[in-house]
Structure 1
Amino acid sequence: MTRLRLYTTLGCHLCEQLEALLVTLCATPYRLDRVEISDDDALVERYGVRIPVLVDEAGVELDRGMEPDRLAAWLAERGWLDEAAWQRLQQQRSSETPPEAVKGATLRGGRRYLG
C-alpha cells in the first residue's frame, strides 16, 4: 500500500477537494496521513500559503493538487492514475457551462462576475 502525506489545516476546503479527487483518480491503494500544519511553526512557514500539499513516499511534493489536471499528471507520473476515471471527469468538466457562457457574466482574472 502506498503512503501519502497531506499537509493541511482544519477547515481547508481546498484540501477536501484534493481528497475527493484523489479518491476518484488514484488507481492504487493508498494510506493518506494528514499533517496539521497549525501545530508547528516551521510547517506553517513552509506550507502555510501552499496547502494542500500532497507528498509521495519519495518526498516529491505536489502543490495545488486540488486542480484536477495537476493531480492527474502527478498520479500518471507514478503509474497511479485511473485512466477511465480521468476520462469520465474530463467529459463531465467539458459538458459543464463555462462561466463566460452564463448570461450577464464576465470573466476577469479567472473569476466570474455577474451583472
Structure 2
Amino acid sequence: MIRLKLYTTLGCHLCEQLEALMVTLCDTPYRLERVEISDDDALVERYGVRIPVLVDEAGQELDRGMQPERLAEWLAARGWLDEAAWQALQRQLSGETLSGVTTRVAKGATLRGGRRYLG
C-alpha cells in the first residue's frame, strides 16, 4: 500500500475533485493522509495558493492535481495509473460516448480543441 499526503483545507472543493479522481484513476491501494494547512502558518505560506497538493512517499509534490491530465501523468510516472479508467475518463471529458457519438461535455459547455467553452 502506498502512502500519500494531501495538503488541503476545510471546504476545499478542488481537493474533493482530486480525491474523486484518485478513486477513479489510481490502480494501487493507497492511504491518503489529509494535512490541514490552516492549522500552521508555514503550511499556509507554502501551500495556500497551490492546494490541493498531493505528495508521494519520496516527497514528490503534485499541485493542481484536480486537473485530470496532471494527475494521470503523475500516477503513470509512478506506475499507479489505471490505464483503462484513464481512457474512459478521457472519452467522457471529450464528450465522446462508446459509440463514437460526440455530445456536450457539461451543461452549457462544449469541448473544442481540448478546451471547454461555455454555451
TM-score (norm 2): 0.83
Q: Give the match for residue 105 of structure 1.
A: none
Q: Is the Cα–Cα contact under 8 Å of residues 110 and 117 in structure 2 kept in the other structure?
A: no
1:3 aligns with 2:10: no
Q: Which residue of 2 aligns with 1:36?
A: 36
Structure number with greater CO (CA < 8 Å, separation at least 6) is 1
- In the alignment, structure 1 segments of 5+ residues that lack a partner are 102-109
Letter in 2 for 1:92: Q
Deviations 1:46-85 (CA, angstroms, capped at 9, x unpaired)? 0000000000000000010000000000000000000000
Over residues 63-110 of structure 1, what are the superposed CA-to-partner deviations in whole Å (9 max), with x where a residue is unaligned?
A: 100000000000000000000000110111111525357xxxxxxxx7
Equivalent residue, structure 1, for 2:45:
45
Q: Indicate the structure with greater helix content.
A: 1
CA distance in 2: counterparts of 1:11 and 1:97, whole angstroms: 29
Structure 1 counterpart of 2:104: 97
Deviation above 2 Å: which 4+ runs of structure 1? 98-101
**CA offset at residue 22 of structure 1?**
0.3
Among all aligned residue pairs of Structure 1 and Structure 2, give the percentage whose two residues are the same amino acid.
77
Q: How many residues align?
A: 105
Residue 35 of structure 2 aligns to which amino acid in structure 1?
V
